[in-house]
Structure 1
């Protein structure tokens, strides 16, 4: 029997992110305002602690916390791609509408497109945070240039 949480457990907010046991998730943009329950939920599902920006190996996914005042979102997304495994996902977490640091939807869409990512879904994932699922385009997964 595994000590990790069941990804289908609806009481774990991280279950909606689609992470799986054994995956390495790199966390970028961490600060004291980040949702601790969500972070712990991801660790329960994967069975591993989140790795930070100093991690220099391939990660299966990226959790990117980003606030309006954090600088250029496109640059942050390009940086998030550096060690992302082929087919890996980036979950961009931004403060919800009306919260300090909120990032407008059109800014997320523009930054994702410029970074070569496709926006696939958005969810209200935590009390203060909204999540946007970003994926690399299929063409880059097949090795076409």
Structure 2
């Protein structure tokens, strides 16, 4: 029996990602959850693209820690991430879980998101040690 990955039933689907989406990754560092990244790439069937990717993307993940900067820095990063999104794209901000080094309070993420023109919609345990906050980008219209 050959195993096939159905993104809808996987971690990617749980985050709202689907097969063949281009997912841009921001804030990569040596502390990210590599298993989460590998599973996400496997689930959608496409490697994650980095911050320098020069085309439209379907979604984004942003790794953010308290020592990455203040809320203004997060706002700027979210504006950059959102500017590359196709209509209907979403962003997941991944922060260290409460009680661990680098944790960022949800209120700070929400404030930065709203200033960047995004709307926080949900949060969940995205990976061991990482909390995910989903941000929806407004449609650009046609």
The two structures have a TM-score, normalised by structure 1, of 0.88
Select 1:50's aligned residue among 34, 48, 51. 48
CA contact under 8 A between 2:97 and 2:129: conserved in structure 1? yes
1:60 counterpart = 2:58: yes
Note the residue ranges of structure 1 that are not aligned, 5 or more in a row.
none
Task: Kindly report which structure 2 residues correspond to 1:75-114, keeping only aligned pairs within 5 A, or say none.
Answer: 75-114=76-115
Residue aligning to 1:123:
124
Residue aligning to 2:137:
136
What's the offset of the Cα at 1:88? 0.4
**Mapped partners of 1:4, 1:79: distance in 2:** 34
Q: 1:142 to 1:3 in 2, by over 3 A?
A: farther
What's the offset of the Cα at 1:105? 1.2
What's the offset of the Cα at 1:3? 7.8
The secondary structure found in structure 2 opposite 1:89 is: strand
Q: Deviations over 1:29-65 (max 9, x none)?
A: 0011111111111111211100001100001000110
Runs of 4+ in 1 over 4 A off after TM superposition: none
CA contact under 8 A between 1:94 and 1:101: conserved in structure 2? yes
CA contact under 8 A between 1:4 and 1:45: conserved in structure 2? no
What's the offset of the Cα at 1:119? 0.6
CA RMSD of aligned residues (A): 1.8
The secondary structure found in structure 1 opposite 2:107 is: helix
What's the offset of the Cα at 1:86? 1.4
Aligned residues between the structures: 138
Q: 1:62 to 1:97 in 2, by over 3 A?
A: same
The secondary structure found in structure 2 opposite 1:125 is: strand
CA contact under 8 A between 1:13 and 1:41: conserved in structure 2? yes
What's the offset of the Cα at 1:14? 3.4
Q: 1:36 to 1:15 in 2, by over 3 A?
A: farther
